[in-house]
Amino acid sequence: MDVRSLGTILGVWAHPDDEAYLSAGVMAMAARAGSRVVCVTATRGELGATDLDQWPLETLADVRTVEMAASLDILGVREHHWLDYPDGACVHIPEGDALGRLVELISGVQPDTVVTFGPDGMTGHLDHQTVSDWTTKAFLEAAEPGARLYYATKTAEFDDRFMSLPAHRMAFGEGPPRTAEAETDLAFRLTDEILDLKVGALRAQVSQVTFLRDEMGADVYREWVRDEWFCLAATA
């Protein structure tokens, strides 16, 4: 499909790199097409250490802030908002505070398309699940008529293809959501040119990506992140 049909896109995610793994291709294509792309990140991911010697927790928020800016710059995304909630504690944030801020953002941006996690949280992470809930409620309250909310998903075919890789299970725990590919509403198999941008954006978040890429190998890692799928969750 023509990514321009998505109009203005707003992505709402929990941690730096969530947006890149699940929607970097869509963001890069939309930005190149001249569409407005806005990204919201709930936390700075300060607990997401993959190597405490190289990236101690005391400085990780600052590291990931810089990484996130570099990543979005590669994709051509110029509008980014931090909610600055504590990593690992989104479920403890008063819902009224989070909803108020997201309603304000949705009202201001007036997106045609909103993308976020499904209720599964993709990896089962409680922050992901909470952000999905906040975004869904805020969308239903504030989105303009005709706007669409999509949940990121993976397919059964994807999981079957990569499930033998230890790094795949490391990333997804018990496994990602398994939507039949024919039942997805948006499916993007990225061209090599767009995939280069996505992999570059991921590599910019070096504190998070290095161990997975090294574990899989560069070629397998590229194919692991090539496809992006979404299911329609609601229409305003």
Q: Using one digit for the tens of pLDDT, what is the confidence trace for 119-141?
A: 999 999 999 999 999 999 999 99
Which pLDDT value is given to residue 54? Answer: 76
- 228 vs 66: CA distance, rounded Å: 25
Best CA proximity match to 122, nearest among 81, 87, 80, 152: 152
Q: Are 36 and 76 in contact (CB under 8 A)?
A: no
Find tokens 């479920």 and name the residue. Answer: 91
Which pLDDT score is estimated for 57?
Answer: 81
DSSP state of 81: E
pLDDT for 193: 98
Q: Any idea which fold 6-231 has?
A: Rossmann fold (3.40.50)
> How is the chain split into domains, by residue range?
6-231
DSSP summary character for residue 94: -
Amino acid 144: pLDDT: 98
Q: How many residues does the chain have?
A: 236
Q: Note whether 48 and 208 are within 8 A (CB).
A: yes
Bridge partners for 231 per DSSP: 151
| Parts of the chain with a pLDDT under 50 | none
pLDDT of residue 211: 86
The helix (run of H) or strand (run of E) holding residue 233 is strand 227-235
HSE value, Cβ hemisphere, 13 Å, CA-based, for 119: 5
